[in-house]
Structure 1
Amino acid sequence: HATSNVSNVAQVAALAAVSGPLDAVAEMRTAFDRRRNLIVRMLNEIDGVFCPEPEGAFYAYPAVKDVLGKEIRGKRP
């Protein structure tokens, strides 16, 4: 039988991360929002592609079904 636990170093680091100032988190969120908005806008500019704006994350899941079977630059996807 073997057991393992989170190391003391990791516990101390986690406590410091959630106990300290969260300014960096706000900056990261702003950067992720800006990137998400950019990629969604750029995807939606592609003819036949629809990408809804994510509500709770920065992932983009474009719908490309209207592009399938169409010729793009002399090729069919």
Structure 2
Amino acid sequence: MKINFYSRPNCLLCEEGLLTLKLVQEDMDFDIEVINIEENEQLHEKYMLMIPVVEKDDQIIQYGNLDYVTLYEALHR
């Protein structure tokens, strides 16, 4: 399973969100692809007010303040 994690540099909420996602990763097997929205104008426009954004199979799982329980339950399905 591959999870997209949309973020940008120097974003404290993104750093915290990635740590939360990595905690979930310790309990289940998936790969994380970190995507810098500043490298793609369309992604920047789409996600700039939402980051960090966790996406699985083109579906947003959670964005903004990420929490372990929500991520785990959504990814465990």
The structure with more strand, counted as a fraction of residues: 2
Fold match, TM over 0.5? no
- TM-score, normalised on structure 2? 0.29
Which has the higher Rg, Structure 1 or Structure 2? 1
- TM-score, normalised on structure 1? 0.29
